[in-house]
Structure 1
Amino acid sequence: MMKSFAIDDRGNVLRYVDLYSGSRAREPLLFVHGLGCASSSDYPPVVGADSYLKTRSILIDLMGAGFSDKPEDGEYHSDSQANILSTFVKSEPFTRVNIFGHSAGAFVALKLAKCLPDQTGPLILCAPGLNDYGKAMLSAITSMSEAQFVSTGFSRLLEQLKSTSDNEAWLGPFSVASPYAIYQWAKSALDDNAQNWLEDLAALNLTKAVILPDTIASDEIAKFEHAGCIVELVANTEHMMAYDNPDGLALAISRILNLKKGA
């Protein structure tokens, strides 16, 4: 079921899909998507997989993305997105929230967990941070001004992606995203990626897990283990795991949540 949450007194609304609300209703898993994505389109195949735990799952479209509102004067950097999600969580009768964040959404998820130190269950980061392709694309976006990107840069980028990308599913949510949101989040994601975010992750006193492709280098695995993370590997996937192998991603998430449940 699609639900909404008013983020201000001007009627701007955050929208999300609320699934399996009868199962562990007060301990949901919040899905935070990556830049240019939308949880409402990315994660239904994951939470619908046979291997999924079927715990209450809240598929959030961040402001500026998917079905959520896209005010031109909105603030879309990662701190603002995390603060909105924190306000949403505090408005609900949740005893605990488990958090999933993909790609640049991992930075938002990490900041959300820091906002809710006593309420966060397992924090699951999926392919966290920016790969070389992501850094190059976001650097190209932020090489121009926000006004330039909104007026011409966004449409040009979309045409370029349509001609070079083989992932039509990803282009759907990207094409309907706010260009203001894309620009502002791109800028903050580059800043977040350049910071010592792994140190922040290591400092969190909660269950932490990272889901990575099984082709990842061993030194990448080691740095997450050093930060105190459980590491799950998913076969036959690259960065966009929800599209490449939704069943494998569902199984990895379920293993992490089942591990904590049995602890």
Structure 2
Amino acid sequence: MNTFAVDDRENILRYFDLYSSAGAFNPLLYIHGLGCASSSDYPPVVTADSYSKCRSLLVDLMGSGFSAKPQDGKYISDAQAAVLSNFIVSQGYSNVNLFGHSAGAFIVLKLAQQLPIPVGTLILCEPGLTDYGVAMLSAITSQTEAEFVNGGFSQFLAQLKAQGGNDAWLGPFSVASPHAIHQWARSAIDDNSSPWLDDLARLNAIKGVILSQTATRDEIAKFEQAGCTVELVANAEHMIAYDNPDGLAAAISNVLKLGK
């Protein structure tokens, strides 16, 4: 994997840089959702036949996947966006495309707002928190960070396993930093209650939103009103990358074509 030192304490952001020959200066940066990791979520997507094979950076956020997990790290969405901004600027790109899933959409929006280079295309996949997500994160944040780290995290993993149907998600979740999960959960709840759709509407970029085909007309309409093209993926729920990676690859490629 590729590495980027985020500080002078040997804390490393890790990522895959794929199809680099396809375009040196306009990559698509993938940001995963809470408890996930781009290194596990998106390889089946970017290797699908329907994928555009654009330059793709699959980033594991700090506290997740293969990236560093300092116990005293800052993992709220603003801090994660700042790390990503520094990373992008350090690479010398002239412009960048961004993808964010679920709570990762909040990080991508904040990143787009603070980057000193243009964002060409912004793609949000199942952005924001579902009612289930709010309830789950509220259960996490009903504990203090210390309580969650010292027992709540392992109990939560056991609950996910007992529920069934979470096998793919349990992999990256189980290796995430409990500090990161707790801090990001708290900030995601705050971000979800903020006027983030207004921020999305104001963003000067080509904008696409990818939803499960089960999305309601009202859900679709709110993103269209924010200036987004909406792509629907069949045979998938909230975790589209797991449920239908080929369908997600095609949807991403369709949005990217809008910028050509």
Instruction: Give the structure-1-normalised TM-score.
Output: 0.98
Using the TM superposition, give the Cα deviation of residue 206 of structure 1 relative to its aligned residue in structure 2, in angstroms. 1.2
Using the TM superposition, give the Cα deviation of residue 116 of structure 1 relative to its aligned residue in structure 2, in angstroms. 1.7
1:75 aligns with 2:74: yes
* Matches of 1:64 and 1:118, distance apart in 2: 26
Using the TM superposition, give the Cα deviation of residue 93 of structure 1 relative to its aligned residue in structure 2, in angstroms. 2.0
Using the TM superposition, give the Cα deviation of residue 258 of structure 1 relative to its aligned residue in structure 2, in angstroms. 1.3
Q: Which runs of 5+ in 2 are unaligned?
A: none
202-211 or 185-194, larger mean C-alpha shift: 202-211
2:247 alignment partner in structure 1? 248
Using the TM superposition, give the Cα deviation of residue 175 of structure 1 relative to its aligned residue in structure 2, in angstroms. 0.2
1:174 alignment partner in structure 2? 173
* Matches of 1:165 and 1:137, distance apart in 2: 15
Using the TM superposition, give the Cα deviation of residue 169 of structure 1 relative to its aligned residue in structure 2, in angstroms. 1.2
Maintained 8 Å contact 2:149/2:179 = yes
User: Which deviations, in whole Å up to 9, do the C-alpha atoms of 1:182-224 show, x marking residues without a partner?
Assistant: 0000000000000010001001111111000111000111110
Maintained 8 Å contact 2:160/2:166 = no
SS at match of 1:22: helix
Maintained 8 Å contact 2:96/2:117 = no
1:222 aligns with 2:221: yes
SS at match of 1:260: coil
Using the TM superposition, give the Cα deviation of residue 80 of structure 1 relative to its aligned residue in structure 2, in angstroms. 0.2
Alignment of structure 1 residues 4-153 onto 2, 5 Å: 4-116=3-115, 118-153=117-152
* Matches of 2:200 and 2:237, distance apart in 1: 23
Aligned residue pairs, count = 260
Identity of aligned residues (%): 67
* Matches of 1:161 and 1:103, distance apart in 2: 18
Q: Which runs of 5+ in 1 are unaligned?
A: none
SS at match of 1:67: coil
User: Which deviations, in whole Å up to 9, do the C-alpha atoms of 1:88-147 show, x marking residues without a partner?
Assistant: 000002111100000000000111110126421100000000001111110000001000
* Matches of 2:245 and 2:142, distance apart in 1: 34
* Matches of 1:205 and 1:173, distance apart in 2: 33
SS at match of 1:14: strand
* Matches of 1:145 and 1:132, distance apart in 2: 22
Using the TM superposition, give the Cα deviation of residue 59 of structure 1 relative to its aligned residue in structure 2, in angstroms. 0.2
* Matches of 2:203 and 2:259, distance apart in 1: 16
Partner amino acid for 1:259?
L
* Matches of 2:198 and 2:32, distance apart in 1: 22
Instruction: Give the structure-2-normalised TM-score.
Output: 0.99
* Matches of 1:20 and 1:102, distance apart in 2: 21
* Matches of 1:129 and 1:259, distance apart in 2: 23
1:162 aligns with 2:164: no
* Matches of 2:39 and 2:219, distance apart in 1: 30
Maintained 8 Å contact 2:94/2:117 = no
User: CA-atom RMSD, angstroms?
Assistant: 0.7
* Matches of 1:115 and 1:130, distance apart in 2: 23
User: Which deviations, in whole Å up to 9, do the C-alpha atoms of 1:2-24 show, x marking residues without a partner?
Assistant: 10000001110000011101001
User: Which deviations, in whole Å up to 9, do the C-alpha atoms of 1:147-195 show, x marking residues without a partner?
Assistant: 0000010000001111113131110000000000000000000000000
Partner amino acid for 1:112?
L
User: Which deviations, in whole Å up to 9, do the C-alpha atoms of 1:7-50 show, x marking residues without a partner?
Assistant: 00111000001110100121100000000000000000000000
SS at match of 2:97: strand
1:236 alignment partner in structure 2? 235
* Moved segments of 4+, more than 4 Å: none
2:191 alignment partner in structure 1? 192
